[in-house]
Amino acid sequence: MRIQLIKTILLGILFLPLLAYTQSYRVDDASKFVVAGTSTLHDWEMVSDEGRGEAAFRFLDGEFYSIESLEVALKGESLKSGKEKMDNNAYEALETDENPFIRFDLSRVIAIENDRLRLKGDFSAGGKKKTEIIEVQVKELEDSILLTGSFDITFTEYDMEPPSALMGAINTGNELTISFEARFKN
């Protein structure tokens, strides 16, 4: 009986690592990143599907459990509104000549609740980096993992001046919403 118990414990120790593991993934082309805001004329949004990045996801018993590491970047000039003048004003505000990328780098997972995670990390835009807390919903798909979420920032907290047009007749609001559907494949 005692030998059987020892064998069971040893087998459990040997196979325990198979129950929990980490796997690397990359941002897939099916991802979508949106920056939305307002102006004195109309609401607007700029969209990019050119995000790049990597993540290490943790699994327990074959199911998604948490995120070990995450970094996502997209070229500021990949954001498009469909209006060239508006795009150029946005690139100027982002100072894309000196700061071509908008990025998020995970520092840590703060909370896990079912399929929702609260992430803390560094968000960089326009040459300024700030710590942001982002709520993310995780969905395991057949061949990928989808992270969706959004968070709000302002131009001024990132030391950017909200764009204007027609000699100040049209002004962009200070508030921005960053939203994403980031699909990761391994």
What mean pLDDT, rounded, does the chain reach?
Answer: 90
Helix, strand, or coil (residue 165): strand
Residue type at position 43? D
pLDDT of residue 19: 79
List the alpha helices (DSSP H) in the chain: 2-19, 84-94
Sign of CA dihedral 75, 70, 147, 130: negative
What is the tally of helices (H) and strands (E) in the chain?
Answer: 2, 11
Q: What pLDDT is recorded for position 119?
A: 98
Domains in the chain: boundaries = 19-185
- The pLDDT assigned to 11 comes to 47
The answer to whether 166 and 39 have CB atoms below 8 angstroms apart is no
Give 25's contacts (C-beta < 8 A, 6+ positions apart): 54, 55, 56, 57, 144, 145, 184, 185, 186
User: Could you tell me the two tokens for 80?
Assistant: 């498009």
Record the pTM. Answer: 0.86
Q: Determine the pLDDT at residue 171.
A: 84
Instruction: Please list the ranges in the chain whose pLDDT falls under 50.
Output: 10-11
Phi-psi group of 171: left, alpha or beta (phi > 0 → left; psi -120 to 50 → alpha; rest → beta): beta
Pick the CATH number of 19-185 from 3.40.640.10, 2.30.30.240, 3.40.630.10, 2.40.128.110: 2.40.128.110
pLDDT, residue 170, reads 79
Model pLDDT for residues 22-66, shown as the tens digit of each residue:
999 999 999 999 999 998 888 999 999 999 999 999 999 888 999
Which residues share a beta bridge with 71? 54, 105
Which phi and psi angles does 51 have, rounded to 5°?
A: -70, 145
